[in-house]
Amino acid sequence: MNFFKALFGGKTKTPEEEKQDSEAHDFDVLKYDGKQALTQGDADYAVKCLSHALKIKDDPETRDYLSQALIAKGELLMAYEHLRKLSETEPDNIRIYMRMANVAYMLDDYNAMANSCEKAMLIDKDMPEIVYLYAQACIGQGDTTNAIAMLTKAISLRNDYSDAYLLRGETLLGNGKLDEASEDAEWLMEHHADIEEVLLLKARLEKAKGNDNNAMKTYDKVLDVNPFSTEAYRNRAALKLARGDKDGHDEDMRKADEILPTAGEEDIEKKMEQAYKDNNPYGF
């Protein structure tokens, strides 16, 4: 048979070529299956497929998919390591540093988060999302002065940056700068009065100013928007107790305690949501 193949121009593949073809086929199948599993929300299977694919071929796109699947599984340290390797392969891809910053945020590693942001800002120092992330890192490091400056810059770069207004308002409130915080709260109330976080900021501000009646009414509005807001129930309970309404206090605390997830789980959930606000480094 080999004689006729040679005679008519055919070519017999060497064992090495056959191995390479088989590996290329396996890689394509594993990568495709992993991507599909990721799209369908099956992070476990996606990690298995994509990890095996990377053993066959070091492919940046596959590594990116794997980092997403690992984040979905909550395996954040491993996801960060894959993103670090991606950043070495593509040092000018700002989206990779953004995702690294988000993963570091979920890990409460604010030094790593700041470092990722600084690398991203070397690529584009005027990208509002990067400036915002850097502000979050500053807050995590206890540097609220720089955080407020960064948030102010983010707003100057994008004057409708609601998340930046909210975070700046919360930070100013935490620093006791009630008048400045009120300006951010009023802007937010004008544009997003039906958002839970905006109403919570407004309520906390009213309480800090001693306007307990306004704070109470605002917590009522929070619970109209989200009947499962444990923060609103607990803070409203404190206001009721200060008024001498012990029964009202106990009722609100009972409702807060019945609501799941717990406060700690809510915090993790919020951090995961923040991470997913970031766009894909490769736009997939």
Q: What is the pLDDT of residues 227-260, one digit of tens each?
A: 999 999 999 999 999 999 999 999 999 999 998 7
CA pair distance 173, 180, nearest whole angstrom: 8
Grade residue 9 by pLDDT with cuts at 50, 70 and 90: low
Cis status, amide bond into 261, omega within 30 of 0: yes
Longest Cα–Cα distance in the chain: 102
Who wins on pLDDT, 274 or 34?
Answer: 34
Nearest to 42 by CA among 65, 11, 24: 65
The confidence score (pLDDT) of residue 143 equals: 97
266 band by pLDDT with thresholds 50, 70 and 90: low
User: How much is the pLDDT for 14?
Assistant: 80
Residue 283 is predicted with a pLDDT of 39
- Residues 84, 103 contacting (CB under 8 angstroms): no
Question: Within 10 Å of residue 27's Cβ, how many Cβ atoms?
Answer: 18
User: What is the rounded average pLDDT for all residues in the chain?
Assistant: 89
Q: How far apart are CA 21 and CA 24, in angstroms?
A: 5
Question: How high is the pLDDT of residue 20?
Answer: 78
Distance of alpha carbon 25 from alpha carbon 21, whole angstroms: 6
Quote the pTM value. 0.83
Average pLDDT over residues 194-206: 97
274: confidence class by pLDDT, cuts 50, 70, 90: low
Cβ(93)–Cβ(85) below 8 Å: no
Confidence bin at 275 (pLDDT 50/70/90): low
Tokens of 141: 């490091």
Contacts of 105 (CB under 8 A, 6+ apart): 113, 133, 136, 137, 140, 271, 274, 275
The answer to whether 101 and 111 have CB atoms below 8 angstroms apart is: no
Q: Which residues contact 197 (CB under 8 A, 6 or more apart)?
A: 166
pLDDT at 168 over 50: yes
Angle at the Cα of 268 (from 100 to 95), degrees rounded to 5? 20
pLDDT value at residue 19: 74
Q: Look up residue 255 and give its DSSP letter.
A: H
Confidence band, pLDDT 50/70/90 cuts, at residue 170: very high
